[in-house]
Amino acid sequence: MTAPLEVSGSDTTAAPEAVLEGVATIEGRSLGQIAWMRLKRDKVAIAGAVVVVCLVLMAVFAPLVVRALGHPPNEFHYKEINPDTQVPIGSYGGISGDFLFGVEPVNGRDLFSRIVYGSQISLLIAFLATLLSVVIGTVMGVVAGFFGGWVDTIISRLMDIFLAFPLLLFAIALAGVVPDRGFGLSGDALRVSLIVFIIGFFNWPYIGRVIRGQTLSLREREFVDAARSMGARRPHILYRELLPNLVAPILVYSTLLIPTNILFEAALSFLGVGVRPPRSTWGGMLSDATHWYQVDPAFLIPPGVAIFVTVLAFNLLGDGLRDALDPRSR
């Protein structure tokens, strides 16, 4: 039924082209396209996505936002502060058209600007730490699940060891002893790298376990056997058969890992082992506010709400993604 002879001229190419024209009219919808259509219909997830996008834009364009709506984050505004009580003069923590979220006690720094700049640290650390965990976790998970045997045994035990690690205590201890410069970095860059490393490097087993399980179950699927029976080599099976099917779980777990990491970064900053002042962080602001809650609990609200909204938005988006990508999980 095939025509092995190559005939020169236009008539040989005519037939395939005719078929090709027909093809364009019937389009296949991939699972990704279907997931996107489902996601678009999920209003809660879309709301989460909108908030996430706004937060990212706010962090990226923090200088512009602050120039338009606030004051430099480390500028002191003593005239907003009552010199006797050290608290802002205006009510509700000094909220006014000039200071959208009020001002900080003692020095009178603009809380709005500090929240906006704080988002840079929160998101940067959360994204980078997530990226680190996902990369390590995916590689380890795929290797363990794909090769099995003693490789799987070693990696699985390694995951157990990592998960048994008292991470928070370790982070506090490590952050306390690391000098101000090292690895060719200094100041904020060093602190950020350190925190990303601590969070990212010790959280990979969570995603590693998920990916290992998924790989194991995919490896048992018959389409992998089909490829093997045709003589496919391991790289082919890994890149053509397994990885495309792992994209969805990786995406979902990354989105759900980000809010966890935001909370962890906030906790470290709250405990004073995060990025150092005067750089503003949400956790640090929350920590500062606790000294004043008996005088005026209003200072707790801006950083608290910022953390809450961010974490909620990521979680809603992640849940929506999971539903859209795998309707059976409901």
What residues make contact with another protein under the rule CB under 8 A? 1-2, 15-16, 19-20, 22-23, 25-31, 38, 41, 153, 157, 221-223, 225-232, 236, 240-241, 244-245, 247
Please report how close the Cβ of residue 256 comes to another protein at its closest, in angstroms.
22
> Closest CB to another protein among 60 and 247?
247
Cis, peptide link before residue 72, omega less than 30° from 0: no
Cα 220 from Cα 237, distance rounded (Å): 12
**Residue 2 dihedral angles phi and psi, to the nearest 5°:** -90, 155
Nearer to another protein, 265 or 323 (CB): 323
Query: Cβ 165 to another protein, closest distance in Å?
Result: 20
Q: Which is nearer to another protein, 29 or 79 (CB)?
A: 29
Helix 31-41 / helix 43-60 crossing angle, nearest 10 deg: 90
CA distance 133 to 130: 5
Between 288 and 323, CB nearer to another protein? 323
Q: Using DSSP, how many helices (H) and how many strands (E) does the chain show? A: 14, 2
Nearest distance, CB of residue 299 and another protein, angstroms: 44
80 versus 241: smaller Cβ distance to another protein: 241
Nearest-approach distance from CB 47 to another protein, in angstroms: 17
Distance CA 77, CA 121 (A): 24
Residue 57, H or E segment: helix 43-60
Rounded least distance, CB 25 to another protein, Å: 7
Distance CA 44, CA 323 (A): 12
CB of 108 to another protein, least distance (A): 52
Selection from 311, 301, 297, 309 nearest residue 111 by Cα: 301
For another protein, the closer of residues 1 and 164 by Cβ is 1
CA distance 286 to 83: 23
